[in-house]
């Protein structure tokens, strides 16, 4: 069977360094850190008192207050980012068949804020069960694509992928394959997360996964630096419109790039730690290259998972060297998490967007906050440290890994 080609025709972003695509890109190329003291709740007694929250975001500017109250924040974020992407793609009822438009979304946790608030309210009461009638639909992870489809009338494939921090990359790969196989013409895909809550921060603190650099939050996310000591929590959403190539051409859509392949793998190693030899990361990149029909030497850039954890950065770097050999030294490697923090289930989406924009503008965003080389990492690799670099990018990869050993890799190609 000949697979259909899949292209990207729309983008939308809601991130800690910009509330739309233009702001997000400006934040990336200028090396802006989104980390700051937490405002979502009183974090005075927490080990980590900072995160990468959204800035100056008022949901009521986008969604009517009555409707917004029916949604957890992760769904609100999804609605805003997907609306931007749909508008950017120029999708209208006149140029699409809504039966052939799907929504495949990623969320690692879903409505944790709603769950937390309902449980706290119940615990503070007299034991009488008084729950919000929207408690369950606000909390479930699949509600975001459901709400997007309800708003726009999209009746194609509709579901959520859940694979921890690989969730939205999984969603994009699923969307690519559904279009490849002819099950849809257009799919709204991406991911959202809103886990900067008491239970979210407390849980990751208990795992010793977060940075505790409370005295200088903006420098806390420092991938590949010797003094890294954990990731910084982020929140937000990223949305991409994936479309069958001939369908996009027929309606005169602008095309950013082609989604040429995707890879999936499992570490099969540990609950939260990566495989020490980077085996899962190695396999997922090889699977992605094979799926895309691309040679090692054709890859120009990799937006790595690069969370700024002691074990993860070492394992991923080893995997890149094992896969690419000498060509690894010719690749621009960067971690945009140094600026956005880690958006968990939404990470794959906003990082895929970063790769698309890097390709469009010929600029690789920097990995900021790097000061001290780590002798466990090959520092001769080009990590695009501290300053953006110009580069003509024809092929870019984006890595995303999650707790449980879930790995996803996406390959984006400049359209011929």
Q: Which of 152, 247, 275, 342 is catalytic?
A: 342
State residue 93's pLDDT score. Answer: 87
CB atoms under 10 Å from CB of 90, counted, come to: 15
Dihedral angle over CA of 403, 51, 332, 364, nearest 10: 140
State residue 164's pLDDT score. Answer: 97
- Nearest residue to 10 via CA among 75, 74, 92: 92
Q: Which of 152, 247, 275, 305 is catalytic?
A: 305
Averaged over successive runs of 10 residues, the pLDDT of the chain (416 residues) comes to: 95 98 98 98 98 97 96 98 98 94 98 98 94 96 98 98 98 98 98 98 98 98 98 98 98 98 97 94 98 98 98 97 98 98 98 98 98 96 98 98 97 93
State residue 228's pLDDT score. Answer: 98
Angle at 19 between CA 234 and CA 244, to 5 degrees: 95
pTM: 0.98
The domains located in the chain, with CATH, are: 6-250 (3.40.47.10), 265-413 (3.40.47.10)
Q: Residue 197 — φ and ψ, nearest 5°?
A: -130, 175
Identify whether the C-beta of residue 205 lies closer than 8 Å to the C-beta of residue 50.
Answer: no
Q: Does 406 participate in catalysis according to the annotation?
A: no
State residue 416's pLDDT score. Answer: 77
Q: Which of 52, 152, 165, 409 is catalytic?
A: 165
Q: Does 342 participate in catalysis according to the annotation?
A: yes
State residue 140's pLDDT score. Answer: 98
DSSP output for 161-186: E-BTBTHHHHHHHHHHHHHHTTS-SE
State residue 169's pLDDT score. Answer: 98
Q: Rounded CA gap, 102 and 81, in Å?
A: 16
Q: Does 409 participate in catalysis according to the annotation?
A: no
* Beta bridge pairs of residue 389: 364
């Amino acid at each position: 069977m000949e697979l259909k080609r899949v292209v990207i025709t729309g983008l939308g972003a809601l991130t800690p360094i910009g509330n739309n695509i233009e702001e997000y890109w400006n934040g990336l190329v200028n090396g802006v850190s989104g980390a700051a003291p937490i405002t979502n709740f009183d974090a005075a007694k927490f080990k980590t008192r900072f995160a990468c929250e959204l800035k100056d975001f008022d949901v009521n500017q986008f969604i009517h207050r009555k409707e917004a109250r029916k949604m957890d924040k992760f769904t609100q974020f999804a609605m805003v980012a997907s609306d931007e992407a749909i508008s950017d793609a120029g999708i209208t009822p006149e140029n699409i068949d809504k039966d052939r438009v799907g929504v495949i979304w990623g969320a690692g946790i879903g409505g944790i804020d709603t769950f937390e608030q309902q449980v706290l309210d119940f615990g503070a009461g007299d034991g009488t069960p008084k729950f919000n009638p929207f408690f369950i639909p606000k909390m479930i992870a699949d509600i975001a694509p459901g709400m997007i489809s309800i708003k726009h009338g999209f009746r194609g494939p509709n579901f959520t992928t859940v694979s921890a921090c690989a969730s939205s990359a999984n969603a994009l790969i699923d969307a690519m394959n559904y279009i490849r196989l002819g099950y849809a013409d257009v799919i709204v895909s991406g991911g959202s997360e809103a886990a900067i809550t008491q239970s979210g921060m407390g849980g990751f603190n208990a795992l010793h996964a977060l940075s505790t650099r409370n005295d200088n939050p903006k420098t806390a996310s420092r991938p590949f630096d010797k003094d890294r000591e954990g990731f910084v929590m982020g929140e937000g959403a990223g949305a991409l419109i994936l479309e069958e190539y001939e369908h996009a051409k027929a309606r005169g859509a602008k095309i950013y790039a082609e989604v040429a392949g995707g890879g999936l793998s499992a570490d099969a190693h540990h609950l939260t730690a990566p495989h020490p030899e980077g085996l899962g990361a190695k396999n997922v990149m090889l699977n992605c290259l094979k799926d895309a029909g691309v040679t090692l030497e054709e890859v120009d850039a990799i937006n790595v998972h690069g969370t700024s954890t002691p074990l993860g950065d070492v394992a991923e770097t080893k995997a890149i060297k094992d896969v690419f050999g000498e060509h690894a030294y010719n690749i621009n490697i960067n971690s945009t998490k140094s600026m956005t923090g880690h958006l968990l289930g939404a990470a794959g989406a906003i990082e895929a967007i970063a790769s698309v924009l890097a390709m469009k503008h010929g600029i690789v965003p920097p990995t900021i906050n790097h000061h001290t080389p780590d002798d466990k990492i090959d520092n001769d690799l080009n990590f695009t440290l501290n300053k953006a670099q110009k580069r003509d990018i024809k092929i870019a990869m984006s890595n995303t890994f999650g707790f449980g050993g879930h790995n996803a890799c996406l390959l984006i190609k400049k359209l011929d």
